[in-house]
C-alpha cells in the first residue's frame, strides 16, 4: 500500500462496510470476479474475508489505489495513485464542481450531493415525500426545487446527521445496483431507519437511475462505487468519533 493519510481510517471501520468495499473491488454487478483484480489471490483475503476485514485494510487500500491508477492511464505504476487523486478523477467523471483546495471530506460531500440531486430529479411526488420523511427535511412543498433548497439550507446550518443520512442513502442506492443488496446496517438508530426506507420500492426505483451514468470505462465501475462507499464510511467514522469526544 502506498501511504495515504486519507485512507488510514479504514483500519477502524466496521467489518460489514469493509466487506462491501472489497466486493466492489473484486466482483462485478453480475457477481463474477473482475479480470483485473488481484486481491482475491492474496493471503490476506483468503484468511480474513469476510469476517475479519480490518486485518486486511491495507490490502484493500492498495487494490483501490491500483484501480485509481488505471482510470488515469498509469496502469504500469507499481502502487497506483493516492485516494485524493482518485476522488478528484471521479468528481470530474461525474461532472462535480470542486476546488483544488477542498478537503477530502468536502470533495466526497460534493459528490454525494450531486448524486442525490440527480436522484431527486428522477423522483415523483410520492417518492419525494418518502425522501423528505427519511432525511427529516423540514419542507411541506414537495416540488423538487423546494426540497433541494430546504436540504441545502439544512446542511449549511451544520446538519452533520443529515449529511450522514445522505451518505447512507447514496451508498445504499449504489450497493443495491452494483451488488444486488443494500448496505449491511444494524437497525435501531436514525441511519438504520434511512436504510430501511430505501430498501423498499423507492430504493429499487432509484437504483435504476444508476444506469444513466456513463460507466463505459471498466475502472470507473470500480472507483465510483468505491469512493461513494468510502465517503459513507468516513461519515459514519466521523459521527462515531464525535460521539466519543462528546460523551
Q: How many domains does the chain have?
A: 1
Residues ≥6 apart with Cβ < 8 Å to 143: none
Kindly report each contact of residues 55-62 with a partner whose C-beta sits within 8 Å and lies 24 or more positions away, as own/partner: 56/18, 56/22, 57/10, 57/11, 57/13, 57/18, 58/1, 59/1, 60/10, 60/18, 60/21, 60/22, 60/25, 61/1, 61/4, 61/7, 61/10, 62/1, 62/2
Judge contact between 25 and 222, C-beta under 8 A. yes
- Rounded alpha-carbon distances, angstroms, from residue 71 to 16, 76, 96, 177, 234: 26, 12, 17, 21, 23
End-to-end Cα separation, the chain, in angstroms: 34
What does the CA dihedral 231, 235, 237, 241 come to, rounded to 10 degrees? Answer: 150
DSSP bridge partners of 33: 27
pLDDT above 70 for 201? no
Q: Which residue has the cell 436514525?
A: 190
pTM greater than 0.75: yes
Residue 17 has a pLDDT of 95
**pLDDT tens column, 118-172:** 878 877 888 788 788 877 888 989 999 999 999 888 888 766 777 888 888 888 8
Q: How many CB atoms lie within 10 A of CB 26?
A: 19
**pLDDT tens column, 81-106:** 999 999 999 999 888 999 999 999 99
Q: Which residue has the cell 493471503?
A: 43
The domain of 15 spans 5-246
Amino acid at each position: 500500500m502506498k501511504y495515504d493519510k486519507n485512507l488510514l481510517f479504514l483500519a477502524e471501520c466496521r467489518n460489514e462496510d469493509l466487506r462491501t468495499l472489497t466486493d466492489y473491488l473484486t466482483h462485478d454487478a453480475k457477481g463474477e470476479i473482475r479480470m483485473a483484480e488481484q486481491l482475491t489471490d492474496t493471503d490476506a483475503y483468503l484468511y480474513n474475508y469476510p469476517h475479519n476485514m480490518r486485518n486486511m485494510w491495507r490490502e484493500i487500500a492498495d487494490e483501490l489505489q491500483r484501480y485509481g491508477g488505471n482510470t488515469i492511464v498509469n496502469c504500469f505504476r507499481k502502487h497506483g495513485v493516492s485516494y485524493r487523486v482518485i476522488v478528484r478523477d471521479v468528481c470530474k467523471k461525474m461532472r462535480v464542481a470542486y476546488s483544488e483546495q477542498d478537503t477530502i471530506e468536502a470533495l466526497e460531500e460534493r459528490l454525494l450531493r450531486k448524486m442525490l440531486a440527480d436522484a431527486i430529479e428522477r423522483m415523483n411526488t410520492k417518492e419525494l415525500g418518502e425522501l423528505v420523511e427519511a432525511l427529516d427535511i423540514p419542507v411541506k412543498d414537495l416540488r423538487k426545487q423546494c426540497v433541494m433548497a430546504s436540504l441545502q439550507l439544512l446542511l449549511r446550518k451544520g446538519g452533520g446527521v443529515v449529511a450522514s443520512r445522505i451518505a447512507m442513502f447514496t451508498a445504499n442506492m449504489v450497493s443495491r445496483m452494483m451488488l444486488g443488496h443494500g448496505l449491511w446496517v444494524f437497525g435501531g438508530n436514525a441511519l438504520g431507519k434511512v436504510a430501511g426506507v430505501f430498501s423498499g420500492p423507492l430504493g429499487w426505483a432509484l437504483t435504476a437511475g444508476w444506469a444513466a451514468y456513463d460507466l463505459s470505462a471498466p475502472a470507473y465501475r470500480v472507483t465510483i462505487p468505491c469512493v461513494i462507499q468510502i465517503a459513507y464510511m468516513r461519515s459514519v467514522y466521523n459521527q462515531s468519533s464525535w460521539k466519543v469526544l462528546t460523551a
